[in-house]
Copies of this chain bind each other. A is one copy, B any other.
Amino acid sequence: MAEPLDLMAGYHFGWCDPEGVEVVGAQGKALRPALTFAAAIACGGGVEESVHAAAAVELLHNFSLVHDDVMDTDPFRHGRPTVWRVWGETNATLLGDALQALALAVLCDGAPEMVTSEAVIRLARATVTLCRGQYQDCAFETRPSVTVEEYLSMAAGKTGALLGCACALGALCAGADHRVVSAMHTFGTELGLVFQLVDDFIDIWGDPEITGKPAHSDLIHRKQSFPVVCALESETAAGRDLARLYQSRHPMTAARAARAADMIEEAGGRQHTLRRASAALDAAFAALPEELATDDLTALAQLIAHRDR
């Protein structure tokens, strides 16, 4: 019989059902550990020195997912009820707390001794930055509008910090010098922005069958996602319609959210988002010294930019 928190973790990771029976189902994409490995290999390192760092960034990412689902009252992840819906908010909070601690323990327990301190400090600081980004994201929900700059600062924290850390830790574990670690950090941070922009994009224009998340979840929560920010800043008729819809006291039904999606597209929000994501992808590659732009890192970056789930 597994400990309750272990069971909840196994369920969250898609390994078992709420009773602990093994299942084969949709799991996360494990993009962050893939970046850690690819960064380590690009720097001449191997999987063995970086596997603890890879596990740590994945654990830390999942701490943030479990807590975010509570904060956003998101009902589904990978097509299954979220942890808080199965075990309640208190237990989901505790699971997230334990996953954060485990991430640091795993990293400290197995990263190459020479770099343990720097690795732990980087991961812990990325976590603080991530909390600040998530704070901003939640604060945006009660504001009528948000500037593009504010959005970018939020995304750099909420998503950029951990992707930057994932890449930096790979380089660090491979024994790369300070300049290379720093370049990998920038590469990952820019990819994080790409990731967040694509996340915002597929919330509105993705296929719920493929994403495993309910359609228009951001719009239903009146989130200031990037397409929304652009549309509200557009000074178009559709943008003004959207502002009225976002500020109205009517519940944001599925039908209203679908209308909001059309307004956003008409106001140029879709086009702007694609363009900004493309620019961030370019910035990511520009940060990477040519000899480090391996096929694996390039493929992962393209996957982040062109994913549909």
Which A residues lie at the B interface, using CB under 8 A? 3-5, 63, 67, 70-71, 90-91, 93-98, 100-102, 104-105, 108-109, 113, 116-117, 120-121, 124-125, 127-128, 131-132, 134-135, 138-139
> In the bound complex, how far is the Cα of B90 from the Cα of A128, in angstroms?
15
> In the bound complex, how far is the Cα of B91 from the Cα of A132, in angstroms?
10
* CB-defined contacts of A98 to chain B, threshold 8 Å: 127-128, 131-132
- Cβ contact within 8 Å between A71 and B96: no
* CB-defined contacts of A63 to chain B, threshold 8 Å: 97
How many copies the complex holds: the figure is 2
- Cβ contact within 8 Å between A94 and B134: yes
Distance between A10 CB and nearest chain B CB, rounded to angstroms: 15
Distance between A26 CB and nearest chain B CB, rounded to angstroms: 26
> In the bound complex, how far is the Cα of B93 from the Cα of A128, in angstroms?
13
* CB-defined contacts of A101 to chain B, threshold 8 Å: 100, 124-125, 127-128, 131
- Cβ contact within 8 Å between B124 and A102: yes
- Cβ contact within 8 Å between A104 and B120: yes
- Cβ contact within 8 Å between B93 and A105: no
> Which of B71, B102, B128 contacts A102 (CB under 8 A)?
B128
- Cβ contact within 8 Å between A93 and B67: yes
> Which of B90, B97, B125, B131 contacts A94 (CB under 8 A)?
B131
User: A3, A70, A105, A139 — which one has the most chain B CB atoms within 10 A of its CB?
Assistant: A105
- Cβ contact within 8 Å between B131 and A97: yes
Of all chain B residues, the one with the shortest Cβ separation from A6 is B132
